[in-house]
């Protein structure tokens, strides 16, 4: 039975851990789906893992649609979420709606993921939700901002930075996000965010106190050259 946004949001109240893995092709998606994974993320990490780029920035909307179509064909039960790639949604809400709408219409995915919790992005999330497109948020280390952040560094390590991440997460929930990825932040901060929000948190490099965990499947299997 296909998981829904409501199922995923309900897992938090039930105390059920949410399992998220990435896929960029039909076979991997089929294997993950049959294994009972809750959410299959077509992440822009495919830029690095599948296409060989050094960052996620070069991947295009066409790339994401192409791979998401293949993934969706392999899935019967998991919720499929697709990353909006760099500069396909940051200009304004109109651009974001066009990009996200294309993903939902052409791929059959159920939701999109965006990075950041700054005011303009909060408005974009609200407008996406208002037109019927479910949105997963993402705060902490946001790879599409890798140059601005000075590399893939842990975020939220000072009291001020931690408070800002908590504020962004709260604002994303208020904007209508159904879940939020917390990436590469201290475990106590991730726990504080998780306890504060009523929507699920999905951690990656954020400790074990989140409502769920996400990993890049190639990393989980030790297929990456970084292992």
Active site residues: 183
The CA distance from 140 to 117, in Å, is 9
Looking at residue 57, the DSSP 8-state letter turns out to be T
The dihedrals phi and psi of 8, each to the nearest 5 degrees, come to: -60, -45
User: What's the gap between Cα 1 and its chain centre?
Assistant: 22
**β-bridge pairing 212-215 and 18-22:** parallel
Neighbours of 87 (CB within 10 A): 13
The CA distance from 25 to 74, in Å, is 8
Looking at residue 3, the DSSP 8-state letter turns out to be -
């Amino acid at each position: 039975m296909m998981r829904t946004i409501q199922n995923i949001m309900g897992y938090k109240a039930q105390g059920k851990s949410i399992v998220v893995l990435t896929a960029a092709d039909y076979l991997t998606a089929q294997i993950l789906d049959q294994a009972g994974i809750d959410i299959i993320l077509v992440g822009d990490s495919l830029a690095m893992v599948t296409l060989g780029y050094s960052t996620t920035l070069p991947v295009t909307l066409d790339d994401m649609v192409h791979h998401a179509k293949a993934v969706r064909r392999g899935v019967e039960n998991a919720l499929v979420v697709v990353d909006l790639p760099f500069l396909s949604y940051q200009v304004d809400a109109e651009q974001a709606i066009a990009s996200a709408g294309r993903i939902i219409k052409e791929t059959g995915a159920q939701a999109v993921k965006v990075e950041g919790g700054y005011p303009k992005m909060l408005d974009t999330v609200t407008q996406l939700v208002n037109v019927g497109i479910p949105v997963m948020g993402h705060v902490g280390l946001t790879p599409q901002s890798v140059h601005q952040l000075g590399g893939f560094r842990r975020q939220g390590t000072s009291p001020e930075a931690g408070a800002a991440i908590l504020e962004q997460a709260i604002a994303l929930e208020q904007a209508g996000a159904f879940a939020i990825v917390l990436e590469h932040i201290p475990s106590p901060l991730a726990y504080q965010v998780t306890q504060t929000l009523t929507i699920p948190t999905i951690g990656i490099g954020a400790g074990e106190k989140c409502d769920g965990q996400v990993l890049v499947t190639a990393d989980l299997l030790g297929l990456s050259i970084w292992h």
